Amino acid sequence: MGKLFSIAFIFISAINSVSSQQLDTIKIMSYNLLNYRNSTTYCTNTNNNTADKEGYLATIVDHVKPDLLVCNEIGANFANGYYLMQNSLNVNGVNHWAQANYFVTQGSSLSNMLYFNTTKLGLISQDQIERDTNNVPIVRLIDVYRLYYKQPNMTAQTDTVYLTVLAAHLKASNTSADQLERAKTTAAIMKYLDENSIQGNVFICGDFNVYTASEPAFQNLINYSSNPSVRFFDPINTIGSWSNNSNFSYAHTQSVRSSSNGCAAGGGMDDRFDFTLVSDEVLNNVNRMRYIPNSYTALGQDGNRFNGNINSPTNPLVPSTVANALYNMSDHLPVTSSYEIDYSIPTNVVSSTLGENIRVVNPLKDFLGIIKEGKNFESSLIQLFDMNGRVLMESINNQTSFIRIDVSNLKRGAYILKIYEGKELVKIQKLIKI
């Protein structure tokens, strides 16, 4: 994020030239599902029926056709996310959806989940932010997902596009204590991004439960004081006091109904709680993934719903079946946005036979060991990259068949090794530090 632009690679590219530019689109949808498979004293199988909700969600997803779905408020059981995938996503002939791993805050009844279109995206890793900057547990953990774009005919030497997605469900309600809890959580998010040098194509999605852009929780995200280069942006640049303000009716995401049914909140459309914020690299098309202008929307929000229902009067933006599904599925609207991926067809890549006589100790612990069988390294350049594409170390070696490099100071995780002999790239390999 910020101005320290870097390109992330799943395998650092050995491409020397490009024959043509190719484009694809990734659509992201973020949705609070309102106690999906989570029974409470007020949300029951009568006013929040699971089977009905799965049908409503299937209708909405079929209409939107997202490639990445970030969900809040899934009941805290590892099986619930799977049921949603099988009953709402991989239905009616569709079978390309996969889900991330399940994590939940201890004692919480709700969890997040990420689903992704496996024909376009792959999940590399995930992490969780569980404590604030004072090491105190936050109300609900933040999920951090690292994905890559599966471009056509992808090989180990193919340049590709990375994205990092955070799923957040911040503390609800508007007391000073609630605002403070939200602020602690977003401060922890930004500290995590800063300390882990997470840059590039970064997104934070979810139900933030903020009432105004001036609230500290939101300001932490868009104006991070500890490192101004680390920040998020609102793709529609709609910054203001959103709550119960008709000037922002086109951005409101909650509530879809004027009258509560006992589970879903009433009051009509008058709050902007749900967001997808992006890094400046996404806005500026730095790392080959850019926000498509005017694609950001609260589904079905035509700006004429202030304090009213999403499905009445007739909604001109979506079919009536979708409007009714939105009304009955949750008290929030899903937020959708689209992004253009720029990938290229390589014309000059590393030969698969180069570097076959080079062996690398992998996984590695305290040192990186590289062996060349049959002959010595000659004018060899060894480079180690993190998964954001930054060079962590370089070493030049001559007239030896074994190279040993101290990596004891590196954190556990994935890295990329590149080996050059002279000016020729002879080996690229993903390494795991344990």
pLDDT by residue (tens digit) across 352-366?
455 678 888 888 889
* Secondary-structure percent of the chain, ordered helix, strand, coil, rounded to 5: 15, 35, 50
Confidence of residue 158 (pLDDT cuts 50, 70, 90): low
Taking the C-alpha atoms of residue 366 and residue 295, their distance in angstroms, rounded to an integer, is 47
| 366-388: average pLDDT | 81
Confidence of residue 421 (pLDDT cuts 50, 70, 90): confident
Q: What is the CA radius of gyration of the chain?
A: 24
Taking the C-alpha atoms of residue 143 and residue 168, their distance in angstroms, rounded to an integer, is 7
User: Position of tokens 């570097």?
Assistant: 355
Beta bridge partners of 203: 165, 278
Considering only 65-74, 146-155, 306-315, 330-339, which range has the smallest mean pLDDT? 146-155
Taking the C-alpha atoms of residue 34 and residue 71, their distance in angstroms, rounded to an integer, is 10
Residue 271 in this model has a pLDDT that exceeds 60 = yes
Taking the C-alpha atoms of residue 273 and residue 207, their distance in angstroms, rounded to an integer, is 5
What is the token pair recorded at 255?
């509530």
- Beta-strand relationship, 202-207 and 289-291: unpaired
Residue type, 245: N
Q: Is 310 helix (H, G, I), strand (E, B) or coil?
A: coil
Q: Is 176 helix (H, G, I), strand (E, B) or coil?
A: helix
Residue type, 424: E
Residue bearing the bigger pLDDT, 342 or 413: 342
| 292-296: average pLDDT | 98
pTM for the full predicted model = 0.78
Residue type, 138: I
Q: Identify the CA nearest to 112 among candidates 126, 123, 122.
A: 126
Taking the C-alpha atoms of residue 295 and residue 217, their distance in angstroms, rounded to an integer, is 25
Q: What is the pLDDT of residue 284?
A: 84
Contact 406, 216 (CB under 8 A): no
Average pLDDT over the chain, rounded to whole? 89
Locate the DSSP E strands across 170-244. 202-207
Peptide bond into 313 cis (omega under 30): yes
Contact 254, 33 (CB under 8 A): no
Count Cβ atoms below 10 Å from residue 313 Cβ, excluding itself: 9
Domains in the chain with CATH codes: 22-344 (3.60.10.10), 353-433 (2.60.40.10)
pLDDT by residue (tens digit) across 197-240?
898 999 999 999 999 999 999 999 999 988 877 899 999 999 99
Contact 432, 414 (CB under 8 A): yes
pLDDT by residue (tens digit) across 20-72?
568 999 999 999 999 999 999 999 999 999 999 999 999 999 999 999 999 99
Q: What is the pLDDT of residue 402?
A: 85
Please report the DSSP string for 26-39 in residue order: EEEEEEEEEEET--
| 403-420: average pLDDT | 85
Q: What is the pLDDT of residue 215?
A: 98
Contact 290, 340 (CB under 8 A): yes
| 152-157: average pLDDT | 69
Locate the DSSP E strands across 76-154. 97-99, 110-117, 121-131, 137-149
Residue 328 in this model has a pLDDT that exceeds 50 = yes
Q: What is the pLDDT of residue 19?
A: 40
For 122, 202, 362, the CA distances from 343, given in Å and listed in that order, are 15, 18, 29
